[in-house]
Amino acid sequence: MTTKEITTLSKNLWRIARNSTPKGLWKILYNFCWRNYRNMADFERRQAKGEPFFPAFVMISVTEKCNLCCSGCWVSANGRKQLSVEQLNGIIEQSKAQGSYFFGILGGEPLMYKGLWDVLERHSDCYFQLFTNATLITDDIAERMRRLGNITPLISIEGLKEESDARRGKDNVYERTLAGLRACRKAKLIFGVSASIGRSNYDELVSRKHIEDMAREGAAYLWYYIYRPVGKNPITENALSKEQIRSFRVFLNEQRVDAPLFIIDTYWDDKGRAMCPAATGMSHHISPAGAVEFCPPLQMAKEFINADASNLTDIFHNSEFLASLRKMTAETSRGCILLENPQKMLQFLQEWNAIDSTSRGTVAEEYAAMRVVAGHDMQGEEIEEKSSIYRMLKKRYFFGFGAYG
Ligand code: SF4
């Protein structure tokens, strides 16, 4: 580990400690770090020994409802599907029984889900990452999250002022998001910022300036995604080219050495080999309709949870559909099948008579119309993780778990 890396790590950790509450720090250390350490070890053992399957992490989309209307979003924002509180509780209980205490809570906009706070409060032994556009976060809501201590808001910023408004379908989205973000900072929450990178926001957001601006705003981490042209109105032209994905990877790698916040991606392992988190079994997704899905944008499923989700463990243990989908995707590519081979994916889904889980009911037609675009698999041109800290973390927590042979 170089001196520069040690200094950067110390500064970033100190900044988080200084800007959070003792309860928030305790929850992230115990509920997130320690429990995840144990959970990953259990998951690894289950995979290695061929024990019944249960993903390390469950992502839960609680509602389809959203107050924005982003282009290229896969959620039916005007839909009315949502999980019942009993189902949400049940998913968490079932997961805890398998040693999994960390959940991604998505929507729609999860803050539009009634009953959210009661559930998150009830499971004070868990840690929740709330995927939000932050426009509904007031001082009161931030204060409520501070009191609970077990939530990290992950605030999506899809571009600066003009790009945000254009991409998110409403006016003043950037300002409203920043207001929510500042409420989080005022309440001393540990929060992150995410960005889904396409051609239209590449220059603005894949930049040192954006990283420094977000660190100045108090973000503890920045989570970068690659834009996926899926959903009702995909913008295929906005997908990154192969060269841009390569530059993006180089950028992440360079920045991690001395960025003033933590930089996250879930696309590449320590050697720079591509990975699909769902193909490795690390995470799967429950939709607002209760569908047990491969991952959030893959909105067709065979199995659904019951009224209190008491069948979830059984579904994960025995789903031939999910097991075959994991196998097929891992055999197809280490990258993203949605981008690289949507037709093969659709054929698989149709052969299995998978059901559209959305309110709009047009997912099969949308997949049929998808064009192949570049994915994150850079076979033969892998770029090894430069920062020894990230290299070590990825080696420990982000590898293939046997999925790629
Ligand atoms: S299929 Fe694509 S979007 Fe889904 S988990 Fe894999 S890489 Fe991510």
Q: In whole angstroms, what is the distance from residue 279 CA to residue 352 CA? A: 17
Q: With pLDDT > 90 as the criterion, what percentage of the chain qualifies?
A: 86
Q: Mean pLDDT across the stretch 289-314?
A: 97
Residue from 226, 276, 344, 349 to probe ligand 1 pocket by mutation (most atoms less than 8 Å from CB):
276
Q: Could you tell me the distance, in angstroms and rounded to a whole number, from the CA of residue 323 to the centre of ligand 1?
A: 15
Q: In whole angstroms, what is the distance from residue 295 CA to residue 284 CA? A: 5
User: What local confidence, expressed as pLDDT, does residue 233 receive?
Assistant: 85
Q: Mean pLDDT across the stretch 338-366?
A: 96
Between these two residues, 5 and 94, which has the higher pLDDT value?
A: 94
52, two tokens: 């019944």
- Nearest-atom number in ligand 1 for the CA of 277 is 5
Q: Could you tell me the distance, in angstroms and rounded to a whole number, from the CA of residue 116 to the centre of ligand 1?
A: 26
Nearest Cα residue to atom 1 of ligand 1: 336
Residue from 268, 283, 337, 378 to probe ligand 1 pocket by mutation (most atoms less than 8 Å from CB):
337
b/e 380-391 (16+ beta carbons within 10 angstroms → b): eeeeebbbebbb
Nearest Cα residue to atom 5 of ligand 1: 278
Q: What torsion, rounded to 10 degrees, do the Cα atoms 286, 287, 290, 293 define?
A: -50
Q: Could you tell me the distance, in angstroms and rounded to a whole number, from the CA of residue 353 to the centre of ligand 1?
A: 20
| Beta strands 192-197 and 221-226, pairing class | parallel
Q: Could you tell me the distance, in angstroms and rounded to a whole number, from the CA of residue 187 to the centre of ligand 1?
A: 33
Q: In whole angstroms, what is the distance from residue 286 CA to residue 174 CA? A: 29
Q: Mean pLDDT across the stretch 348-355?
A: 98
- Nearest-atom number in ligand 1 for the CA of 335 is 7
User: What local confidence, expressed as pLDDT, does residue 144 receive?
Assistant: 97
Average pLDDT of the chain, as a whole number: 94
Residue from 73, 266, 283, 298 to probe ligand 1 pocket by mutation (most atoms less than 8 Å from CB):
298
| Fold annotation for 3-397 | TIM Barrel (3.20.20)
Q: Measuring CA to CA, which residue among 128, 100, 106 is closest to residue 61?
A: 106
Cβ contacts of 359 within 8 Å, gap of 6 or more: 64, 76, 78, 79, 80, 81
**How many alpha carbons fall within 13 Å on the CB side of residue 358?**
23
Measured from CB, residues less than 6 Å from any atom of ligand 1 are 276-279, 295, 297-298, 336-338
User: How does residue 115 score in pLDDT terms, banded at 50, 70 and 90?
Assistant: very high
Residue from 223, 230, 328, 336 to probe ligand 1 pocket by mutation (most atoms less than 8 Å from CB):
336
User: What local confidence, expressed as pLDDT, does residue 232 receive?
Assistant: 87
pLDDT digits (tens, 9 = 90+) for 218-252: 999 999 999 999 988 889 999 999 999 999 999 99
User: What local confidence, expressed as pLDDT, does residue 405 receive?
Assistant: 66
Q: Measuring CA to CA, which residue among 212, 202, 219, 192 is closest to residue 255?
A: 212
pLDDT tops 80 at residue 39: yes
136, two tokens: 């509904």
Q: In whole angstroms, what is the distance from residue 167 CA to residue 165 CA? A: 6
User: How does residue 400 score in pLDDT terms, banded at 50, 70 and 90?
Assistant: low
Q: In whole angstroms, what is the distance from residue 185 CA to residue 167 CA? A: 25
Q: Could you tell me the distance, in angstroms and rounded to a whole number, from the CA of residue 337 to the centre of ligand 1?
A: 7
- Nearest-atom number in ligand 1 for the CA of 298 is 4
Q: With pLDDT > 70 as the criterion, what percentage of the chain qualifies?
A: 98
Q: Could you tell me the distance, in angstroms and rounded to a whole number, from the CA of residue 172 to the centre of ligand 1?
A: 31
User: How does residue 258 score in pLDDT terms, banded at 50, 70 and 90?
Assistant: very high
